[in-house]
Structure 1
């Protein structure tokens, strides 16, 4: 049998705590009933299977002791991925990976419990990925893939794809209470019980906090999950998951550095005291898995109802000297989808082979999605309002064949079709259309030894642009003519990687050298309601990662990543891509012994160019977080989290653009309009924060 298939079969059938459905790619075995035997295997061993060196799986054991400031920081378990924030803690995070400022999620495909999180044609940003509804204690593991080499991954996956899976059953009930500085309060109740022939898992979470900001955040978050798993015999099962999430908050958005330097505000002060937002997400999904003699059949269907209201002010009085520049972004969205796949384990020309054929269909309706100018959250001028229907469907096939003990080939083909219809408040910006793209994938896996794999990968992928950009002909603010943009933008990736466990028992090392070309980074700017054309780009980089389990008590990991991002069409303005991440590093340890647990993380976020000629750069940041727990009784545990242990005064994010504070005099553009004052605009990292918690297992 193919080596990776055997590994996954062991992980599945001999009671290793990583189900095959949670692994990122690689060969898969159907779930079957086997006689139990005792086998020792590790999460790292199961995670090592896959089709690229930059593919992996983070098990639950690596997450349990991890200190977290925000739920979205779970994604920092992906080597080279940085998660920050430039606004309030109800807004989607900022993500950085592989030479990208991914904004709020463009080019990073993310799913939770089988449902997509990226929102296309979004009021604030294409691919908007809000993970504030995730309950970390219910996560069973995180599977990740980086690059364009995976036929099953479609929109937004040019830089990578992350799948967060939820548990079907908790080992025991959990009631948890946390208190911390700056008004932090969190309560959690979760358990699973046998209900009829299946298992019902539930989790309910409440969070309130103000943060260190002069303007209290006033976060009020309610979150709930119900998940029912019904075994049907022979490994077949159905899982139904319902989720509900609601949040409201005040925001301290990024502020002009000069406002701090001149003493107008403190480091944690706000310029516009009325920024903030409200969001909600309600979903229902069903998953079906049926093993068959030669493989398995999987199906997934979901419906998601979401709303977002966001009030932001990034330029203050540059565009509207009297009212100010605050604006509202609102959307009311319904998303539905169906995914189907069939996997065959068999032979090809007498060699062990796995083939998967799948389809993915998604429909989004936004009614409405709008942008308006506001004062103190009260709208006074509508910029644009649209009703959008967007439907996509994809077919893909992938094959992995073990030709020799040391040679495996990978091949895939994906075809995507998109249809859209926009009805705008300005009829000149209404329209309908379609686009399609075909994405081939190829790879070779060489295994010079039983514990070392060398990966050669190539593939084409894509991301979608906001479909309003494909129908807009008139700037909704100025009335100037606008050029329509393409909806599907191709990306081509190349990678050479190696993964080995030769050096020491329990030690896994991986390295990859990669390149990604994108034909155009044209995107719709939700902050202004217009499209902003960018240029074709090329990103190259190297990533190194280590995962070490010297004993069952210890998990040690470290990674570094270096990237070079440039525009490919040379222009006098410069070829650097603003905000493109250049270097990151992280290291961590998780330790469990007797009554004690320990988790510690170090994260380095390197400096970045902020404008095209690289004459203005951001500063770097280095943060250390710590979590220590002690079991005081058999079913009771206390823990302490110290976030930003060394109280470093660094920035979560740094921008460079023009703004105008109230009372300032603006220089003028050649056409006589205000040019504003160029400055750094920063969102500071939160200072040292202490949180304590009590967890009771029942």
Structure 2
């Protein structure tokens, strides 16, 4: 096992050994208390007087408890309009879709956990790679989300939106959970909080294994842990947290539709049995805040160590007919960061005003990040290998003024400075580049009554490009100054500007218990230039414009009932005159999510339906992915105050649909030449999972 993997194992072992000792010293909090009863209070849309846009809100951990989920990152589907899928093994970051974007593994949607950024720039597999497998859903306190480019505190990767995930700091009682299901699925969780000295110690330990429905067992294994210590002392609030996770898997990647149609492969079949990978992550973070007479001072600092070894083969025998096209993507990363802000409540122009000034800095060191050819997970050649230093420093200012009881404005300004330093295996692709961008923001909020609020938003944002593309001058595989299509290779723009605007309304109480928000939005990107980690090259793309409408409804018809329904339509298009066509491949156009949950006595239930609309797979719109509708249900029954039984039925109606589709050229061993085709990764079939949890 690699050294970094053993380090993670030792960190988890330390958590396992230390926690019981502290528990014995401090005493388990809660004694005979039962698990926290789910009480539905408020909703994600009850933001009148608080939010700065119609697409900003908060989801509580209580609201997540009745949601059936098949993968950890699916907690983000609680954010209206977000779709989470997968095209490979469970250990890899998911695919995300929102607001006319195929966000790939996270580009243009910023995610943070306990103040630490999840998106990874200049990643071995994809820019903004966002792997949420280290989350423990039962410990989530809130998910605060916002969409658009209108928030001064949000920088890189947030053009489409952002989500901040926070954990609870204590539990009302300890939890021991065992969950089992088909395909050798097994999950265990042990979590508790204890009084330790002047503060509270929280720990969570999770193990997961799963083979999945695939013809080749996935053999997914995950070990995951968190340990946090929180102190509240007068005006001061401090939390220190340590996290560690490691996983490994065998992947069944997307396969060609022609092979399924011909009976060569089943829907759950595979071509390269050695695809898969292993990943490791460990972090330390500290979050401190102090309440002042006139505001709040906050400081968050973090350090992250992560590693990934990924083996993929998407074209099979196209480039190397004898041995196959498998390639390896690998990285070793160290991240340090700081986020500090000071807020004031004061008078400005004789009006009530709030001002926030913040600084953010981040340093990523990759040593190395590489792309290699491989055969059965054995490296056979180096396409490129780089050592990279990427640092950023940001300053932002935001001011809100309440001009009247009904009208307020929020104006912000953000300045970002980036430094890229690349030392490549090919000297022609080495270099140092600096770039900066200034992003103004403005919002106007009108509240004509206590149950209605109107919003107008405008802002400039950005996303960074992969450092390797910024300094690239030659094709790393051939050394040529043109790519495989004969196009000249030139360095990418470091920071790509995005401009967004939105008009929205939030209504509460017109129908008792119903809250609705509606938004009309537009987002323009100067370029969708992407670094293609699978090839080690920059893929020139085009300017784009996305427009859309989103409707979110949250309805409590009676105590214990919740009904939510979210609909989103998007029109994503390239805006130049390229004859290839104006359609953006893979860009989402329509989504819908409907959920019903019920809490009564010892019973709880949650039923959800998710619609993922058809979308273009090439620029001419000549090939499209089919739509999919998936439904799942979650049931719970409290046998006693301490013991609870649960059941989930995922893909309730056993729909034979795709999780994701792509369109590109590949070659099977039996074929004489490349064939352009849809390549699909199917949604998993109906799957039943049973759980037993005990409160102590």
Tell me the TM-score normalized by structure 1.
0.92
**Structure 1 residues 188 and 47 mapped into 2: Cα distance closer, same or farther (>3 Å)?**
farther
Distance in 2 between residues matched to 1:466 and 1:615, nearest whole Å: 30
Higher mean C-alpha deviation, range 61-70 or range 545-554: 545-554
The RMSD of aligned alpha carbons is 1.0
Instruction: State the Cα deviation string for residues 623-672 of structure 1 (Å, max 9, x = none).
Output: 00100010011100000000000000000001010000002011xxxxxx
Other-structure match for 2:357: 357
1:232 CA displacement: 2.0
Distance in 1 between residues matched to 2:239 and 2:415, nearest whole Å: 29
Other-structure match for 1:621: 628
**Structure 1 residues 88 and 172 mapped into 2: Cα distance closer, same or farther (>3 Å)?**
same
Instruction: Tell me if 1:138 matches 2:166.
Output: no
Instruction: State the Cα deviation string for residues 330-380 of structure 1 (Å, max 9, x = none).
Output: 000001100100010122112111110000000000000000001111111
Other-structure match for 1:60: 61
Other-structure match for 2:540: 533
Alignment of 1:208-357 (within 5 A): 208-234=209-235, 236-357=236-357
Distance in 1 between residues matched to 2:559 and 2:295, nearest whole Å: 33
Distance in 1 between residues matched to 2:582 and 2:554, nearest whole Å: 36
Higher mean C-alpha deviation, range 339-348 or range 121-130: 339-348
- Does the CA-based 8 Å contact 2:394-2:415 persist in structure 1? yes
Alignment of 1:375-386 (within 5 A): 375-386=375-386
- Does the CA-based 8 Å contact 1:44-1:508 persist in structure 2? no
Other-structure match for 2:588: 581
Other-structure match for 2:567: 560
Other-structure match for 2:428: 428
1:294 CA displacement: 0.4
Out of 579, 592, 595, the residue aligned to residue 599 of structure 2 is: 592
Other-structure match for 1:94: 95
What are structure 2's unaligned runs of at least 5 residues? 1-39, 482-488
Out of 640, 647, 652, the residue aligned to residue 659 of structure 2 is: 652
1:231 CA displacement: 1.3
Instruction: Tell me if 1:498 matches 2:525.
Output: no
Distance in 2 between residues matched to 1:650 and 1:198, nearest whole Å: 49
**Secondary structure of 1:343's partner?**
strand
Distance in 1 between residues matched to 2:347 and 2:543, nearest whole Å: 42
1:214 CA displacement: 0.6
Distance in 1 between residues matched to 2:314 and 2:625, nearest whole Å: 18
Other-structure match for 1:178: 179
Instruction: Tell me if 1:603 matches 2:601.
Output: no
**Secondary structure of 1:404's partner?**
coil
- Does the CA-based 8 Å contact 1:290-1:297 persist in structure 2? yes
**Secondary structure of 1:269's partner?**
coil
Other-structure match for 2:5: none
Instruction: State the Cα deviation string for residues 368-412 of structure 1 (Å, max 9, x = none).
Output: 000000111111111010000000010000111110111111100
Distance in 1 between residues matched to 2:307 and 2:672, nearest whole Å: 38
1:43 CA displacement: 4.0
Out of 584, 598, 612, the residue aligned to residue 619 of structure 2 is: 612
Aligned residues: 649
Other-structure match for 2:204: 203
Instruction: Tell me if 1:84 matches 2:85.
Output: yes
Distance in 2 between residues matched to 1:193 and 1:506, nearest whole Å: 38
Distance in 2 between residues matched to 1:43 and 1:603, nearest whole Å: 20
Distance in 2 between residues matched to 1:450 and 1:381, nearest whole Å: 65
Other-structure match for 1:116: 117
Instruction: Tell me if 1:638 matches 2:645.
Output: yes
Other-structure match for 2:408: 408
Distance in 2 between residues matched to 1:221 and 1:377, nearest whole Å: 20
Other-structure match for 1:15: none
1:45 CA displacement: 7.0
**Secondary structure of 2:217's partner?**
coil
1:46 CA displacement: 5.2
- Does the CA-based 8 Å contact 1:62-1:555 persist in structure 2? no
Other-structure match for 1:677: 675
Instruction: Tell me if 1:489 matches 2:490.
Output: no
Distance in 2 between residues matched to 1:514 and 1:44, nearest whole Å: 20
Other-structure match for 2:4: none
**Structure 1 residues 47 and 243 mapped into 2: Cα distance closer, same or farther (>3 Å)?**
farther
- Does the CA-based 8 Å contact 2:45-2:57 persist in structure 1? no
Other-structure match for 2:692: 694
Tell me the TM-score normalized by structure 2.
0.92
- Does the CA-based 8 Å contact 1:158-1:491 persist in structure 2? yes
Instruction: State the Cα deviation string for residues 587-630 of structure 1 (Å, max 9, x = none).
Output: 11222111001111110000000000101100000000100010
